[in-house]
Amino acid sequence: MIRRLVSIVAVVFYFLMFSFFVANSQELGVVDEATAGNFFGVGARAMGMGGAHIAVASDATALVYNPAGLARVKRIEFSGGLTHQRLRNKTGGLTFVGIQPQSTAVNFNDGRLQSNTRLSSANIVLPVPTYRGSLVFAFGVNRIKSFDRAMKFTFAQDGSGGIESESGGLYMWSFGTAVDISPNVSVGGAFNFFSGTDNYSWLYEDSYDDGYLSFKYKYDDTIKDRYSGFNFKFGVRVQPNKFLIVGGTIDSPVTYTIREDWTQTTDTVFYYPEAYWIQYYDSDNPEYKISLPFSLGIGIALNFSNLLLAGDVHYADWTQMEYKRLWDMAEANRNIKDSYTDVLRWHVGAEYLFPGIGTTLRAGYYQNPLPYKSTWIKKDRDGITFGIGFLIDQVMTVDLAWVHGSWELNDFNIELAEKYTTNKIFLTTAYHF
Contact 142, 178 (CB under 8 A): no
Amino acid code (one letter) for 71? A
Could you say which of 208, 337, 355, 379 contacts other proteins (CB under 8 A)? 355
Of 136, 139, 200, 190, the closest CA to residue 168 belongs to: 200
Question: What is the Cα–Cα distance from 74 to 360, expressed in whole angstroms?
Answer: 20
Of 15, 27, 36, 22, the closest CA to residue 331 belongs to: 27
x-marked contacts with other proteins along 246-265 as a string, rule CB under 8 A: ------xx------------
x-marked contacts with other proteins along 24-63 as a string, rule CB under 8 A: ----------------------------------------
What does the angle CA 419 – CA 344 – CA 231 come to, to the nearest 5 degrees? Answer: 105
Q: Taking contact as CB under 8 A, which single stretch among the options 7-15, 43-51, 168-176, 389-397 is the one that binds other proteins?
A: 389-397
Look at strands 244-251 and 214-238 and give their pairing. antiparallel
Residue 146: count of CB within 10 angstroms of its CB:
25
Residues near 344 by Cβ (< 8 Å), separated by ≥ 6? 313, 314, 315, 369
- Residue 128 Cβ, how far from other proteins at the closest point, in Å? 7
User: Quick check: 363 binds other proteins (CB under 8 A)?
Assistant: no
Residue 324: count of CB within 10 angstroms of its CB:
14
User: Quick check: 130 binds other proteins (CB under 8 A)?
Assistant: yes
User: Quick check: 290 binds other proteins (CB under 8 A)?
Assistant: no
- Residue 294 Cβ, how far from other proteins at the closest point, in Å? 9
- Range 295-323 burial, b when 16+ CB lie within 10 A, else e: bebbbbbebeeeebbbbbbbebebbebbb
- Residue 179 Cβ, how far from other proteins at the closest point, in Å? 5
User: Quick check: 359 binds other proteins (CB under 8 A)?
Assistant: no
User: Quick check: 316 binds other proteins (CB under 8 A)?
Assistant: no
Looking at the Cβ atoms of 64 and 245, the one nearer to other proteins is 245
Q: Residue 11 is inside which H or E element, if any?
A: helix 2-28
Question: What is the Cα–Cα distance from 39 to 411, expressed in whole angstroms?
Answer: 23
Taking CB under 8 A as the criterion, which residues in 204-243 touch other proteins? 232, 234, 239, 241-242
Looking at the Cβ atoms of 6 and 128, the one nearer to other proteins is 128
Looking at the Cβ atoms of 3 and 132, the one nearer to other proteins is 132
User: Quick check: 132 binds other proteins (CB under 8 A)?
Assistant: yes
- Residue 36 Cβ, how far from other proteins at the closest point, in Å? 19
List the beta bridge partners of residue 282: 264
- Residue 127 Cβ, how far from other proteins at the closest point, in Å? 7
Question: What is the Cα–Cα distance from 81 to 44, expressed in whole angstroms?
Answer: 8
Amino acid code (one letter) for 204? Y
- Residue 80 Cβ, how far from other proteins at the closest point, in Å? 19
Could you say which of 91, 123, 303, 428 contacts other proteins (CB under 8 A)? 303
Total number of residues shown for the chain: 433
Could you say which of 10, 100, 109, 129 contacts other proteins (CB under 8 A)? 129
Could you say which of 210, 212, 356, 413 contacts other proteins (CB under 8 A)? 356
Q: Taking contact as CB under 8 A, which single stretch among the options 27-35, 84-92, 175-183, 323-331 is the one that binds other proteins?
A: 175-183
- Residue 362 Cβ, how far from other proteins at the closest point, in Å? 15
User: Quick check: 139 binds other proteins (CB under 8 A)?
Assistant: no
Question: What is the Cα–Cα distance from 54 to 312, expressed in whole angstroms?
Answer: 6
Could you say which of 98, 101, 183, 211 contacts other proteins (CB under 8 A)? 183
Q: How far is CA 75 from CA 90, 111, 183, 198, in A?
A: 46, 47, 19, 36
Of 346, 339, 344, 417, the closest CA to residue 378 belongs to: 417
Interface residue list for other proteins (CB under 8 A): 72, 74-76, 127-135, 179-184, 187, 189, 232, 234, 239, 241-242, 252-253, 303, 305-306, 308, 353, 355-356, 358, 391, 394-395, 432-433
